[in-house]
Copies of this chain bind each other. A is one copy, B any other.
C-alpha cells in the first residue's frame, strides 16, 4: 500500500479519488493545509504550482487536483474559477447565461499533479465532453454536476448518476485512473521515495 497526501478540503473529491486509487493499492491521506491556487487559465499551471507549494510545506509526496467546467458559448467560463462561480452565481444563473443559446457544449477537465519533490512533478489529465442541461436535475455529486450531461451517458446529468457510474466517465475519475496506472508502472522506483 502506497500512501499519498492529498491537499483538499473537499470530502467529495477524496471519496471519488479514493475509490479509484484503491484498485492500485494507493491510499490517499487528506491533509488540510492551504492549497496555493494561482489565477491562470491553465489547470496544468495551477495544479503544478499548488503541488510544489504543498511539497515545500510537508516535504512528502503529495497530490493536488484542480478541475473546472469549460462552456464553449461562454468562451470557456467558468473554467478554473468554477468553485468561486458556483458559490457566487450558482447553477440557475449559469442556465440564465445560456438562455436562447443553441451551442450548449461544455467539458469538465481535471488535472492531478503529483509532486515527488519540488522538481519532480507529474501531471495527469482527465476530460469528459458534455452539454449543459436546460434545467437542474439530480441530487448526487456536487458543484455543477446537476447541469452537466456527459455525451457518453444516457442523457442523465452527473448528479443523477451514482458515484460508480460517474467515476467511470468523469474527468476526475479519468485523471486519477491515469495517476493510478502511472503509479503501478513506476512502483519499483517509487518505493524508495514513498
Q: How far is the CB of A133 from chain B (nearest CB, A)?
A: 19
Q: Is A15 an interface residue (CB 8 A)?
A: no
**A121 to B80 alpha-carbon distance, docked (Å):** 28
Q: Give chain B residues whose Cβ lies under 8 Å from the Cβ of A93.
A: 74, 97
Which residue from chain B places its CB closest to the CB of A78 in the assembled complex? B88
A38-B37, A39-B37, A96-B97 given as contacts; is B84 within 8 A of A88 (CB)? Answer: no
A76 vs B89: C-alpha distance when bound (angstroms) = 9
In chain A between 90 and 144, which residues have their CB closer than 8 angstroms to a CB of chain B? 93, 96-97, 99
Q: A79 in the interface, Cβ–Cβ < 8 Å?
A: yes
Number of copies: 2
- Bound-complex Cα distance A3 to B80 (A): 36
CA–CA, A93 to B46, complex, Å?
27
Contact of A74 among B77, B80, B81, B89 (CB under 8 A): B89
The reply on A31 being an interface residue by CB < 8 A is no
A59 at the interface (CB under 8 A from B): no
Complex formed: what's the CA distance from A96 to B95 in Å?
Answer: 11
Contacts of A84 in B (CB 8 A): 39, 41, 77, 79, 81
Nearest residue (CB) in B for A97 is B93
A186 within 8 A of B: no
Nearest B-chain residue to A66, judged by Cβ: B39
Is A75 engaged at the interface, CB distance under 8 Å to the other chain? yes
The answer to whether A38 touches B36, judged by C-beta atoms less than 8 angstroms apart, is yes
**In the complex the two chains form, what is the Cα distance from A79 to B96 in whole Å?**
20
14 interchain pairs, CB-CB under 8 A: A37-B40, A38-B39, A39-B39, A39-B80, A39-B81, A74-B88, A76-B88, A77-B85, A77-B89, A81-B84, A93-B97, A96-B96, A96-B97, A96-B99
